[in-house]
Amino acid sequence: MIAAARTRWVTFDCFGTLVDWQAGFTSILASLVGTKARDLVRAYHDFERLSETERPHLSYREVLASSLMRAAEEVGAALTRAQAGALACAWESMPLFPDVERMLEELRAMGCRLAVLTNCDNDLFEQTHRRFSTPFDLVVTAEQVCDYKPSLSHFRYFDRVSGVGVGDWIHVGGSVYHDIVPAKKLGIRSVWLDRDDTGEDPGVATTRVRSALDVPRAIARL
């Protein structure tokens, strides 16, 4: 009797891992607040984490707008509520990192199925999804699970829907806080794509790489 082939999954964070969120975000805000854009982005990160823990659950559009308004007040940037909605309106302009498509092609050629676990609403991610040359096999959004990483909800939902065994699942993320730590809590092997050489402890991840082009080789070793 021939054994059934195992299905191996690679899941990804999207924004900051596959999509250059930082550059896209800064570019959009520069048209609104000029030279304060970088300060606004830095402050935004702190307020986003707070907004994502609020209950009842906020949509990601609401997280974006409320966090931007609070960050603008923090750094002294003049920003109206209508302008705070500009990020969601320009979401489709967020660029992919130039090394991403080749990485995804190599992983598919290796027989891996690919999925995204994203802190994003369905409609916003659909805009991003259209930028990829080939659709992902499965997408889990914050809207689906009514929660945001680093909560374990995305991972548990994917586990249920995919039926994957932990030995056939590797998660790839650029954020230790949002992706690598929760993966470790669940015993999921991880590849930390540390594009910015952050200096954080690499020991929390199963392995660390600096470029998406190194991800297929890392996954092959694992």
Report which residue type is found at 131. R
What is the pLDDT confidence band of residue 186, given thresholds at 50, 70 and 90? very high
What is the pLDDT confidence band of residue 2, given thresholds at 50, 70 and 90? very low
Helix (H) or strand (E) holding 207: strand 207-209
Closest CA to 208 of 185, 196, 191: 191
- Exposure string of 14-42, with b = 16+ CB inside 10 Å and e = fewer, is bbbbbbbbbebbeebbeebbeebbebbbe
132-164 pLDDT, tens per residue? 999 999 999 999 999 999 999 999 999 999 999
Residue 105 Cα to chain centre, angstroms: 19
> Percentages helix, strand, coil for the chain, rounded to the nearest 5?
55, 15, 35
Query: For the chain, what percent of residues have pLDDT higher than 70?
Result: 98
Which residue, chain included where needed, has tokens 């054994």? Answer: 3
What is the pLDDT confidence band of residue 34, given thresholds at 50, 70 and 90? confident
Contact of 12 with 115, CB cutoff 8 Å: yes
- Mean pLDDT for the stretch of residues 172-191: 97
pLDDT at position 110 is: 96
Where are the strands (E) in 81-168, listed by range?
113-118, 138-141
Burial degree of 118 (CB within 10 A; 0-12, 13-18, 19+): buried
What is the pLDDT confidence band of residue 5, given thresholds at 50, 70 and 90? low
